[in-house]
Structure 1
Amino acid sequence: MNRSDPSGAVVSAYAAVFEKLATATTGRTRRGPDGAVLAISGAQIASLNAIISPAPEPSTDEIAALAASESPWELPWSIHVRGVPSPPVTALAASHGLTRFTREPLMVRHPDQGLPPESGIDSLTVRPVSGDELDLYAGTVADGFEAPHELFKVLTDPSLAEIDGMTFYLAELDGVPVGTGMTAVTGDLTGLFNITTLPAHRRRGYGRAITLDMIRATFTTGAPTTYLYASEMGEPVYTAAGFRTEEYLTVITGD
C-alpha cells in the first residue's frame, strides 16, 4: 500500500470491479496511461458506464481522451473522481452534459476489527446464487432500488457467474427474496455492492445482516479488508458494522 495515498489501492480495486463487469458484458473497456478506467457495462444506468480515475489528482487530458473514444455516447454515463473535482474536470464534464454531482463516502473496514458477529436473525438466509438464478437476483436488485427491471438486465448475463472473485447473494425469508448483495475480491480487498432490502422488509436489520454475512464469507479467504461506497444516509449503518469513512468519491452524471 502507498503510505502517502492509503486509499489509492481501494479506489483502484473499485475501478477494476467495473472493468471486470464490462469485460464480461460488452467487452468495452480501456485504460488510460495514468490508470483511469473506462468501463461500459451496457446498462441504462449512468453509474455503470463510467470513466473512473483512481488518481488523487485526476488527469483531465486522460479523462478527455477516454471520453472522446466513446463519442457519441449512446448510453447514460458518468465520471468518477476522488474528492472534489477540479475546475478543469468539472468543465470537461459539463462539456459532455454531465453537471450533476453525487458525493459518496468511501468506507473501509480493516482486519483489526476482527471477524464480525453473526447477524443474529435466525430466520434470514444469505446465500450465493448460481448462474441460472441471475434473473431472480437482478429482479430483486431492481425491486430493492425501486427501479424498473430493464435497468438491471445487465445483471442477468450468465457470464457474470464466471467472473473470478465476484459473488452474488440473495437474502431470503422462507425461500422468498427480501434483499441482495454482491462481493468482488481484488487481491486482499473485498468490495461490497448492490446491498438492498425490499421496501416491505426495511427497518428490520436485514441490510446490516446481509453486510455482516458477506464480510464473514470473505474475511478468512485472504481478502479481510472490506470497502464500500455508501450513500451519506447509509453511513451510520455501516459505521455500526465497523466501517470508517476514509474519503469521498464524486460521481458526475447528466441531469
Structure 2
Amino acid sequence: MVAGNNGQGYSAVVDGRLVDAAPSATALWSTARAHLVTLFAALDDVEVVLREKTLLGLTGGPTADFNMCLVDDSPNLAGILADSVARLRSRGLPGLFMISSKASRSLGARIGELGLSAVGEAPLMVFSGHVPEPPPGYDVVRVTEESGVHEVADMVATAFELDRDWVGRTFASHRLGKTDSSVAFYMATAANQSMSTVTVSGTGEIVGIWSMATPPDLQRRGAGKAALLGAMARSVEKGAHTFYLIATPAGKPLYDSVGFRTVETFPMYVPST
C-alpha cells in the first residue's frame, strides 16, 4: 500500500486501485447511519427516525445499547436531538446517544440543557489497505444457519452482558443471517469449537465491524483476531477496501494491533435521571 494526504484524509493504492484509505469522520458517520437503517429495517417492531444527520433506532430493549441515537452535525441539530430525547422518554426506554465530535462542538453547553448526561467517550476507528494474515489454527466461516446464529447471540450476550432474548431479537436476529442480507455474521472455530464471532455491515467498499465477541473463558487465544481478520478478508473478496468500527476499551488494543487508527474520539450520553 502507498498512501498520501489528499486533503480529506488519505488516499492509498490497494490492489492497483487508488482509494480513499481514510474517509472523513463525516463520511464514516454517514455510512454507519445507512448501515444501521438497513439493519433496523430487517427487524420486527423497531421504530426508526432519520432526520438530517441524526438516526434514532428504538428496538424497545431493556438496556441502553438496544436503543441508540447516532448524531452528526446538521442545520437543525439541537431541535432534532431534543425531539429524539423526548421520543425516547415518551416510551420510557433507556438509550445511548453517540454524538460526533463536530456535533458536540456545535451543541456546546446546550447538550446539558437537552437532558443528557455524559457516560464516557469512544473512538471511531478506520482501516484501509492489506488485511494481515489471521492467526493459524482457526477456520472463519459465515454463519447463516439458525443454530449458528443462536451461537452468535449467546456469545454477544455473554461478552457484553446483554439480555440474551433481546440480542436474539436484534443484533443477532436470524433475520440478519440470511445469505442475501447486507449484514453478515462470522464465526472463528478451532477443533470444531466455536471460539469468537464478529458482525459486518454493508456490501460496498466501506464495511462496518460490530459486536466483536469472545466468551471470557476463550479469550487471549487469538480467536478474536482470527474472527476479525477472517471477516475482513471475506469482505475484501467482495470488493471492500475500508473498514470502520466504534471501539470498546477492551477491544481497542486488538484493533490498534492490526492497523486500525482512530479518526476521532466522540462523547456518549444517556438521558439524565
State TM-score, norm by structure 1. 0.85
Q: Is the CA contact 2:55–2:70 (under 8 Å) kept in the aligned structure 1?
A: yes
Point out the more displaced range, 142-151 or 20-29.
142-151
Q: Is the CA contact 1:15–1:54 (under 8 Å) kept in the aligned structure 2?
A: no
Q: Secondary structure at the match of 1:240?
A: helix
CA–CA distance in 2 between the matches of 1:147 and 1:199? 14
CA shift, 1:64, in A, is 1.2
Match of residue 235 from structure 1: 252
Match of residue 28 from structure 1: 47
Q: Is the CA contact 2:207–2:243 (under 8 Å) kept in the aligned structure 1?
A: yes
Does 2:103 correspond to 1:103?
A: no
Moved over 6 A (4+): none
CA–CA distance in 1 between the matches of 2:224 and 2:7? 32
Q: Which amino acid aligns with 1:38?
A: L
Q: Is the CA contact 1:51–1:67 (under 8 Å) kept in the aligned structure 2?
A: no
Structure 1 portions without partners, runs of 5+: none
Match of residue 158 from structure 1: 174
User: Deviations along 1:188-242, whole A, 9 cap, x unmatched?
Assistant: 2111011111111111121111111111111132221001111234323211111
Does 2:37 correspond to 1:15?
A: no
CA shift, 1:184, in A, is 0.4
Counterparts in 2 of 1:212-251, with a 5 A limit? 212-251=229-268
CA shift, 1:72, in A, is 1.1
Q: Which amino acid aligns with 2:247?
A: A
Point out the more displaced range, 57-66 or 167-176.
57-66
CA–CA distance in 1 between the matches of 2:160 and 2:65? 14
Q: Is the CA contact 1:49–1:75 (under 8 Å) kept in the aligned structure 2?
A: yes
Does 2:154 correspond to 1:143?
A: no
| Cα distance change, pair 227–44 in 1 and its aligned pair in 2 (3 A) | same
Match of residue 53 from structure 1: 71
CA–CA distance in 1 between the matches of 2:270 and 2:62? 13
State TM-score, norm by structure 2. 0.80
Higher RCO (C-alpha 8 Å, min separation 6) = 1
Q: Secondary structure at the match of 2:202?
A: strand
Give aligned-pair identity as a percent: 24
